[in-house]
Each structure stands twice: as C-alpha cells, then as structure tokens.
Structure 1
C-alpha cells in the first residue's frame, strides 16, 4: 500500500501540481510566525520548544489521524497517505522551472533563462553566462529532487502512515525559516533557529547519503563517490554539497565554481568532475533523476516483498 500510495501521489502531482505556497506554505508560515512571536527569546531552549510544538505535535497529530482513518476503514487510511504525500512533496513545481530553463537555453533565449532562474532560486542573474545558468539549474535540481521526493519517501517508509513525510516536510520548512535567521545573521535572531537547523540535519543525515549513493550508482559511480569524498567538505551546507558533488561526478560535469549573482561574483569551490556545464547536461540530469526515482520505487517493492514474506 505504501508503494501504491506513492505512485498515485506522484501521478496526481504530475497531473495537477499543488500551488504550494498558497495552499500549504502560507498557512504554515502564519502558524510558525505566531509560535515564534510568542516563544522566541533568542535562546536555543525557546527554539527547541517551538520546534517540538509545531513539528512534534504536527507529526503526532498526523499519526493519530491516520490511526483513526484506519479504524474507520483501510481505504480512508490509504487516502490519507495519498493526500499527505501530495501535500508534502512538490517536485513538479521545481521541475517546471528546470524544464522552462532547459527549453530557454535550448532556444538561445538567454535573458528568459536568467529571469526563470531568478524566479526559481531568488537573486539576480543579469550577467550569468549560459554555462553558469546550466550549473546553477543542475545544482538546484539535484538538491530539490532529494528534498521534495527522496527525503520525503524515506521518512514516509520509516514512520507509520504519513507521519514520517509530515515530520520531514515540517522539519525542512522550519530549517529554512527559523534556521536561516540564525545562520544568516538576522539582527536579533539569536540562537532561536539553531535547534531547527540541527534537527533537520539529523533527520536528513541518512536520506541524503542514500540519495547521493543512488546518484552515483545511476551515473559514473567511481567519479560520483570520488567527488563526494573529496569535495563535499568544501561547502558549509554539507547536505547540499554531498548531493551536488555526487551528482556532478555521476553526470561528468563541473558544478560549483564562481558565478555572477545579484551584481557580484560569488566565489564557490569546484564540485563534480568532467566537462563544462551546458544544455546537454540538463537533459542528462533529467535522465539521472528519473533513474533515481525508479530505483527508489524498486527498493520500496523489495521492502514490501520482504515484509510480506516475513509474515
């Protein structure tokens, strides 16, 4: 039932992608802001309490709702799984940006590609070259695929019902919202967001390494593992670095490196290995991500079969 729910949620999202910020993130943001306003005193303890109230109670509430749905009828529990996955994933929204950038570069519409990249990542890329746009798009896709699909699926498979998917999605949101305040040096932020940052890193430690391994296996394994081991330590965001280094090595493309962003040149270490990023590498990235998704589904089939045999 886990595999079927995942497939149906992916198909539903592909047919009708959810406008996440309007339907999910905006209400969640209001709740998170309200909790932070009441509890934030700049300490790590207040951040821990706020995280437990939102992520902990949200996960527990999802588990209880799933149990009640199961008690009513397994069909309701199945629908609960599909609905939660549909709300927690969202790769179709990310892939739309990637596809449009790919098409713009293929057609030689550099200004449109820059505008699309800015809408996707934030910032400005008025002076970015086609290679820089391709690099940044591949990096964003490698990370987004993990955080919107593979990480969600991992925790969906671990905890009962959809509670794991909800836990991962809430933890990621609080990492991006509360954790960014502390790491980004926002005035008066203090250590409130430190726990949210550490909690997501802990939850993502195993899934991100599984995804990086799948990227390597589905591409050039030796180069993927070599880049992962030798280059991931060079970036402050270790999770993203592992995915980008492994994916770049698997694809045989150089990522990272300095880029023009928001009017300045951002100096970044080189990631990956091989030739300079171009339009063809965008197509190769699509193939890598689809193969990784098929591996993910195959592993779920094996887990399901093992559970059935063990009964």
Structure 2
C-alpha cells in the first residue's frame, strides 16, 4: 500500500502547496541541460551528440534516484514520505489548473488581452491576434495534453519503477521540451530526446485517453480517438487530445500560427456544429475531466494494491 499512499501524499502536497515557487529542482535541471547542450551541440547538429548529451543529462540523476529508492526501502513510513515528495516535485496538477483558470476567468469577463497573455504562457503558438474562440481552443487543448504529460505519465512511471522511474520520465520530458524542436539547431541533436519521450509516454498517453473517455462522454470520445488520433502529428498527443475533446464534446483543432508559420491541424473532437464551440466553459470542462480521470486512477490503483494484498 506504500505506493498508493505515496501517490496520495504527492497529490495532497500538490493540492495544498502547488508548484514550488523557489528552488524547484526542474529549474536547476533546465540550467544544467542548457549547459550540456552548449557543450555537445557546438559544431554539428548530430544524433550521436544528442544521444550522448541525453545520457549525460539524465543517467546520473536516475542513479541518485536509485540510491534514494534504496533509502526509502528502509521502512514503510520513510518510503511513503520520500516517494510522495519526489512524485510531488514531478507532477503539475494544480499548476495546470491555475494556468487554465487564469485564461478562463478573463475570457468570462471579456478581457481578451489578459486571456491572450495568459494562454501565451502555456502554448508555443502565436497568441497576439487570437480571438476568444481561438484562445479557448488553445487553452483547452493544452489542458488535455498536459494532463497526460504533467500528471498521469509521472504517476504511471512512479507506480511502475518507483522514484527512479518518475525521475527518468520527468527529466526526459523536460529535455524533449527543451531540445525536441524540428529546427536547424535541434533537428538532429534533439532527435533522441523527442523519441525517448515518445516511448516513455506511449502507454501512459493511451491510458490517459481511455480515462478521459471513461469519465466523460464515452461513446463520442472513443469514436474521436479511433478516427482522429492517427492524423495528429504527435503519436501520443493525438489519442489524448482526440479522446479528451470528444469526452467534453468540444470541437478543437484547426489552423494555428507556430513560430510565424500558419499550420492547418486536423480536427479534434466532434465536428463543428455537432460539438460545442471552444469557450471558457470548455476550459473548465477540460479541468473537470482531468480531475475526474485522476480520481479514477486513484480508485484503480487502490483496487490493484488491495488485490495484491489479498493474494
């Protein structure tokens, strides 16, 4: 039961404290990763350099996490405390909800400029000219996708491999966010970071999509997942966002500007006219979907651990 207790402790800490405001380990890791990239990506953008840089950035911390795991094995209370604290540092539940509400609230009061500024903090697309519908669409998509990245994938790897698992996942996901761009600087160098993140997210993303479907409009969500997931550019974001959009019955996708270039993206969720238009209400619905899916995970983890205890 220590795994479940650690998950519940992590969620309680995140709910009470939110994301650490100062001295967050991932901020420090980001600085280290930036220096590593400068050293390994000096003269030529190569896949080998990217692989070596990834190994140099991640493996030492996984080794440290393994030592912490061994210390956690000295007693159930120590294990729960250490495991729960490490998982707390790796998830972003309340941070995700706070960012979403910071967009929904100005939309509800017709403050489009504040909503644009807020959504610009969580998406990579150009937000300066977005109208209310486009702001709401970007925010809703971000909540659905980051629900998987910031919460469920971290919990999955913690349940599977303990503290080393969640450290491996979170650092890999951070490197993908830093190096996984398809531009001249990172096209080859960031290849390993992007592919490793895809592998680590493959199963958790589909579990997240299934969870969204089960706690939302199930039939619509499963249909959208089946039809739309493979058309999306990301193998893991596709199932999550398609199922999530269907689960809350909101029509998403469409055109967006990234780094000055217009991209026509496939539709997500029910077709326009059949589903709801993106709005502040849809952003709140996405947040509610994430919360219900999280309750489902806690319930399933409890059943698994009880079953193990009875065997």
Q: How does the TM-score come out when normalised to structure 1?
A: 0.90
- Contact 1:126-1:263 within 8 A present in 2 as well: no
Provide closer, same or farther for how the CA distance between residues 262 and 236 of structure 1 changes in structure 2, counting only shifts above 3 A.
Answer: closer
| Equivalent residue, structure 2, for 1:237 | 234
1:47 aligns with 2:69: no
CA distance in 2, matches of 1:151, 1:292: 13
Alignment of 1:186-197 (within 5 A): 186-187=184-185, 189=186, 191-197=188-194
Mean CA deviation greater in 264-273 or 286-295? 264-273
| Equivalent residue, structure 1, for 2:308 | 307
| Equivalent residue, structure 1, for 2:202 | 205
- Contact 1:125-1:261 within 8 A present in 2 as well: no
Mean CA deviation greater in 19-28 or 220-229? 19-28
CA distance in 2, matches of 1:20, 1:176: 20
CA distance in 1, matches of 2:25, 2:255: 35
Mean CA deviation greater in 49-58 or 258-267? 258-267
- Contact 1:20-1:90 within 8 A present in 2 as well: no
Alignment of 1:84-123 (within 5 A): 84-123=86-125
Alignment of 1:14-25 (within 5 A): 14-19=15-20, 23-25=24-26
Q: Which runs of 5+ in 1 are unaligned?
A: none
- Contact 1:225-1:249 within 8 A present in 2 as well: yes
1:143 aligns with 2:140: no
Question: Which has the larger share of helix?
Answer: 1
Provide closer, same or farther for how the CA distance between residues 133 and 261 of structure 1 changes in structure 2, counting only shifts above 3 A.
Answer: farther
The alpha-carbon deviation at position 254 of structure 1 amounts to 0.4
CA distance in 2, matches of 1:69, 1:261: 44
Mean CA deviation greater in 3-12 or 18-27? 18-27
Report the secondary structure of 1:267's partner residue. strand
| Equivalent residue, structure 2, for 1:285 | 286
1:77 aligns with 2:79: yes
The alpha-carbon deviation at position 120 of structure 1 amounts to 2.5
| Equivalent residue, structure 1, for 2:12 | 11
Provide the alpha-carbon RMSD of the alignment.
2.1
The alpha-carbon deviation at position 261 of structure 1 amounts to 6.7
Q: Which runs of 5+ in 2 are unaligned?
A: none
| Equivalent residue, structure 1, for 2:69 | 66
| Equivalent residue, structure 2, for 1:129 | 131
